[in-house]
Amino acid sequence: MTLHPAPVDTGIVFDRIDLTLEDTRIPARFDHVGETMLGTVVANQAGASVSTVEHLMAALAGLGIDNMLVEIDGPELPVMDGSSSDFVTLLEAAGVRSQGRTRKYIKILSPILFEDGDKSGELRPGHGFSAEFEIEFANAAIGRQRYEFDLAPGAFKEELADARTFGFLKDLDQLLALGLGRGASVENTIVIEDEAVINEDGLRYSDEFVRHKVLDAIGDLYLAGAPILGHFVGVKSGHGVNNALLRALFSQPEKWTYVEDAAQAPEFLPLTAEEARQAALG
């Protein structure tokens, strides 16, 4: 995989350089998402596809990168250690440059909700981008966890980038039968056997499971094609729900609008402590 700078208005684009199809480029957009089992897969009409894009997309969202060409010579992005940490390290080492144009944002005007049984994803109006997420597993190694996140400068790297994907050892045989999970190991996954984490080094955070779910959601939501100004609420949400939420968003144009350069729009800036106090006092 090679990450290339790209001109303004390119967006994030994947290119399967190992294929000889008529079109090997795939825009990183919600309407190009096909499969969402265990990861997010984007594809084009010519048949080119790339899977497990969410960890890189989360790193790009967290670092504020709008334009990039991702060349890859296989069907899946490198899993690295199962988090976004290595992607962040590589991107910071290369450096990020302003392209002299204002950013385009998607401002949420009123709530958009998608529900699938006890799973749900919702976008609400909010300052900047923030998220809250709740998971609950019967397994005692995870249990019920909740996490809140504000996408301030440096916050993604500090709070989420190191959080790894996770899975249950008992599910491995079924996944292998489906042709999935072939590269999974304790080197790139938090593995749970019975009700214990079997990775020798244990967890990086006590709530690493829910932090990774927030990371996934940020990556999936960046497939909107622009940063979102709003508050995401996820309850047991996964890749399928996240993508369905974006499809619900774009099917209701009255509930959102494009704005430019949020940094210059006072209504989008985080409240100062004094402003928050005044707001609380009414």
Write the single-letter amino acid at 173.
Answer: D
Q: Which residues contact 48 (CB under 8 A, 6 or more apart)?
A: 16, 19, 21, 23, 24, 25, 26
- Contact indicator for 125, 255 with CB cutoff of 8 Å: no
- Contact indicator for 263, 145 with CB cutoff of 8 Å: no
Annotation says 231 is catalytic = no
Helices and strands (H, E) in the chain, number of each type: 7, 16
- In DSSP terms, 121 is beta-bridged to 114, 234
Q: Which of 55, 212, 231, 239 is catalytic?
A: 239
The Cα 213–Cα 163 span in angstroms is 9
Residue numbers annotated as active site: 239
